[in-house]
């Protein structure tokens, strides 16, 4: 496991020599914290400074806000306590962030317990307390079965939730997706666990979530709320009711295949391996971040079939066209998959649509793969005897 870094932020006063400095500042940070993580974390924490004057939860209580924010390189788990006062009696907050590096940190990507099972003692409540050292204190880890029970989800509604989350991350310029809950921290933990455990890793790395509505909701993908149904975009765990999954979106997600496949068809203990294999194959196909829907769809097809002979005619043509739409390159994995699929098309006597044949011509004109060239010539000879 990579080290977990800490950063504490508040409106504080410090003395240097004969001078006194007051203002929003970092009052404690881990030695060796990477500069990019530090800068990004401070920006996230400072965004909540404007909430100090009226920071209450949905029941009117002083707000303690939990946030989960990924930027692709780090996952920031931030607890911000409001209702404090600075030395002049003005409203203040204290924000304590735990920062989990994601590069080469497979454990965090495989098991959300590492950042969801944090004990309350992992977060400081104000200045003057000493941050812990080593690994953060945690509560017992949850299994997926336990998380589903806490979340109040069955398998069908879990899959619906994941489709809603995926649709939300794909949408641009929309309000957050509000997820209904009944005010229980354990319910939120169960829902978060089911979300993080059921998504491709690139989404785990970029989700932005808040455990309570605030005036800063606009930058979040998901927000938990007691009054979700009153929002434009919502999901109700108890029923699966939502305002996100239109027939058009459902059709798109169905074609992609991988969005809810794992939770519906893969044994729970093998779900982390499913997403790990999907990521590895996507990277092999030239997608270094394993985040291209087109490549992930192709990787999913090959990850869930024994070989090209297992494809239906429609799947074979669709997968071949998806691969032909990739930028022409010397990627050996792409060349191999194109060769196998084109060979299977030849064996079955299937033909591509004219626009897809144009894509094939582009590959054949630039590829250095002799196997692909030979399969292409066989295809063209069958078409023009």
What CA–CA distance (Å, rounded) separates 26 from 32?
15
- Name 279's Cβ contacts closer than 8 Å, sequence gap at least 6: 200, 201, 202, 290
62 pLDDT more than 90: yes
How is residue 205 written in tokens?
A: 């790395």
pTM summary value: 0.94
- Mean pLDDT throughout 336-356? 95
Alpha helices in 176-303 (DSSP H): 185-197, 201-204, 247-256, 261-265, 271-284, 293-303
What pLDDT score does 86 carry? 84
How is residue 104 written in tokens?
A: 């080469």
pLDDT for 202-221, tens place per residue? 999 999 999 999 999 999 99
81 pLDDT more than 80: yes
pLDDT for 119-171, tens place per residue? 999 999 888 777 788 889 999 999 999 999 999 999 999 999 999 999 999 99
* 383 confidence band (pLDDT: 50, 70, 90): low
Q: 337 and 302 in contact (C-beta within 8 Å)? A: yes
User: If DSSP codes are grouped into helix, strand and coil, which group holds residue 381?
Assistant: helix
pLDDT for 312-323, tens place per residue? 999 999 999 999
Choice between 125 and 18, residue whose per-residue pLDDT is larger = 125
CB atoms within 10 A of CB 92: 21
Q: Give the rounded distance of the alpha carbon of 61 from its chain centre.
A: 30
Q: 123 and 100 in contact (C-beta within 8 Å)? A: no
* 71 confidence band (pLDDT: 50, 70, 90): very high
User: If DSSP codes are grouped into helix, strand and coil, which group holds residue 126?
Assistant: coil
53 pLDDT more than 90: no
How is residue 215 written in tokens?
A: 């005036």
How is residue 334 written in tokens?
A: 């792409």
How is residue 193 written in tokens?
A: 């666990």
Range in 128-137, 179-188, 273-282 the model is least confident about? 128-137
Provide the b/e sequence for 318-350 (b: ≥16 CB within 10 Å): bbbbbbbebeeeebeebbebbbbbbbbbbeeeb
As a 3-state breakdown, the chain gives helix, strand, coil percent values, each rounded to 5, of 45, 20, 35
Could you give the angle at the alpha carbon of 203 between the alpha carbons of 238 and 218, nearest 5°?
70
What CA–CA distance (Å, rounded) separates 293 from 26?
39
385 pLDDT more than 70: no
Choice between 21 and 37, residue whose per-residue pLDDT is larger = 37
How is residue 281 written in tokens?
A: 């194959």
What CA–CA distance (Å, rounded) separates 311 from 319?
9
DSSP single-letter state for residue 230: G
pLDDT for 252-270, tens place per residue? 999 999 999 999 999 999 9
Highest mean pLDDT among 79-88, 129-138, 267-276: 267-276
- Name 65's Cβ contacts closer than 8 Å, sequence gap at least 6: 48, 55, 78, 79, 80, 82, 210, 211, 212, 214
- Name 223's Cβ contacts closer than 8 Å, sequence gap at least 6: 176, 177, 178, 179, 209, 210, 212, 213, 217
Q: 7 and 111 in contact (C-beta within 8 Å)? A: no
Residue 275: CA count within 13 A, CB half-sphere? 23
What pLDDT score does 13 carry? 85
Average pLDDT, the chain: 94
What pLDDT score does 173 carry? 86
């Amino acid at each position: 496991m990579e080290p977990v870094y800490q950063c504490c932020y508040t409106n504080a006063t410090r003395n240097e020599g004969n001078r006194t400095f007051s203002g929003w500042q970092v009052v404690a940070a881990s030695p060796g914290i990477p500069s990019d993580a530090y800068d990004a974390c401070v920006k996230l924490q400072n965004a909540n400074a404007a909430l100090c004057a009226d920071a209450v939860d949905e029941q009117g209580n002083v707000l303690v806000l939990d946030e989960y924010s990924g930027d692709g390189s780090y996952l920031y788990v931030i607890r911000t306590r409001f209702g404090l006062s600075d030395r002049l009696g003005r409203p203040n907050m204290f924000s304590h962030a735990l920062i989990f590096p994601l590069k080469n940190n497979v454990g965090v990507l495989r098991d959300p317990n590492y950042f969801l099972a944090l004990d309350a003692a992992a977060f400081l409540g104000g200045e003057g307390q000493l941050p812990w050292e080593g690994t953060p204190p945690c509560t017992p880890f949850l299994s997926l079965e336990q998380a589903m029970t806490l979340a109040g989800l069955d398998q069908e509604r879990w899959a619906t939730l994941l489709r809603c989350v995926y649709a939300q991350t794909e949408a641009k310029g929309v309000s957050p997706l509000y997820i209904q809950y009944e005010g229980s921290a354990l319910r939120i933990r169960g829902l978060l666990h089911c979300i993080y455990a059921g998504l491709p890793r690139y989404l785990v790395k970029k989700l932005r979530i808040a455990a309570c509505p605030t005036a800063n909701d606009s930058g979040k993908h998901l927000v938990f709320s007691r009054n979700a149904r009153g929002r434009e975009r919502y999901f109700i765990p108890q029923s699966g009711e939502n305002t996100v999954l239109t027939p058009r979106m459902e059709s798109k997600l169905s074609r992609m295949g991988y969005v809810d496949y794992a939770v519906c068809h893969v044994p729970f203990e093998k779900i982390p391996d499913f997403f790990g294999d999907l990521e590895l194959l996507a990277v092999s196909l030239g997608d270094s971040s394993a985040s291209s829907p087109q490549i992930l769809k192709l990787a999913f097809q090959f990850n869930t079939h024994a070989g090209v002979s297992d494809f239906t005619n429609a799947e074979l043509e669709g997968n071949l066209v998806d691969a032909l739409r990739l930028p022409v390159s010397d990627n050996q994995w792409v060349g191999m998959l194109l060769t196998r699929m084109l060979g299977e098309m030849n064996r079955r006597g299937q033909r591509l649509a004219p626009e897809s044949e144009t894509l094939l011509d582009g590959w054949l004109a630039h590829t250095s793969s002799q196997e692909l060239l030979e399969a292409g010539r066989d295809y063209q000879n069958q078409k023009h005897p």
